[in-house]
């Protein structure tokens, strides 16, 4: 009898074990309690996030024109004062062709003036700078740094963005520098200058 009971118990245990192995116990979960803000609810109700792009914007993106680079100072030449007769003036030319002149002393035009250069004229100035070897000149003449304060100084600067150089010529500058300075001065003398206020 005992043996029969053990066999029956073992058989029941085996049946339970076999039928129970194929079944997975999946716990019945509950929805987590997540609070939703009013902004989130409005976004859900509207069917899109607050910062979501409109379909029209995606289909037809607005293409902005690339703004051209703002005009920058391309070249300048300045002559400083001295105790005697010395023309004192400053020339500036911008990448868009606008030219400014300010005459201070011992020059024909005293005051502020404006003119305009064509693209060809701008190219001519840059090409002359290249021909004169301007970018290979020392930054200061005399190169030993000694300056005679009684003599006028010419400061010439060129900025092409890709390369820029400035030369301060107090005296003893090489011939090609002096030739380039004279070229620039004569070039600007030939422009049609209009007086401006200020």
pLDDT in tens, 120-152: 999 999 999 999 999 999 999 999 888 888 899
CB 125 within 8 A of CB 75: yes
- DSSP assignment of 166-185 equals EEEESS---HHHHHHHHHHH
Q: Sheet holding 73-79: strands in order across? A: 140-141, 164-169, 154-159, 73-79, 88-94, 98-105, 111-116, 194-195
Q: Is the peptide bond before 22 cis (omega within 30 degrees of 0)?
A: no
Number of H helices, E strands in the chain: 5, 8
Domains and CATH numbers, the chain: 73-195 (3.30.1560.10)
CB 89 within 8 A of CB 104: yes
CB 135 within 8 A of CB 161: no
pLDDT per residue as tens, the chain (198 positions) = 555 555 655 555 555 554 555 444 444 444 445 555 565 555 545 554 444 545 444 444 443 443 457 899 999 999 999 999 999 999 999 999 999 999 999 999 999 999 999 999 999 999 999 999 999 999 999 998 888 888 999 999 999 989 999 999 999 999 999 999 999 999 999 999 999 987
pLDDT, position 54: 52
Predicted structure pTM score: 0.65
CB 97 within 8 A of CB 121: yes
């Amino acid at each position: 009898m005992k043996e029969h009971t053990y066999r029956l118990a073992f058989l029941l245990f085996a049946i339970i074990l076999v039928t129970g192995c194929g079944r997975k116990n999946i716990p019945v979960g509950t929805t987590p309690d997540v609070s939703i803000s009013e902004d989130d609810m409005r976004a859900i109700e509207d069917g899109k996030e607050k910062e979501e792009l409109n379909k029209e914007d995606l289909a037809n993106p607005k293409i902005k024109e690339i703004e051209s680079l703002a005009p920058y100072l391309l070249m300048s030449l300045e002559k400083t004062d001295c105790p005697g007769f010395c023309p004192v003036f400053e020339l500036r030319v911008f990448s868009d062709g606008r030219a400014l002149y300010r005459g201070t002393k011992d020059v024909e035009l005293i005051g502020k003036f404006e003119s305009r250069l064509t693209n060809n004229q701008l190219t001519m100035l840059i090409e002359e700078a290249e021909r004169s070897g301007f970018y290979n000149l020392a930054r200061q003449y005399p190169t030993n740094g000694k300056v005679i304060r009684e003599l006028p100084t010419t400061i010439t600067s060129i900025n092409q963005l890709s390369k820029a150089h400035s030369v301060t010529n107090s005296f003893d500058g090489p011939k090609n520098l002096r030739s380039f300075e004279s070229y620039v001065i004569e070039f600007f003398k030939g422009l049609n200058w209009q007086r401006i206020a200020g």
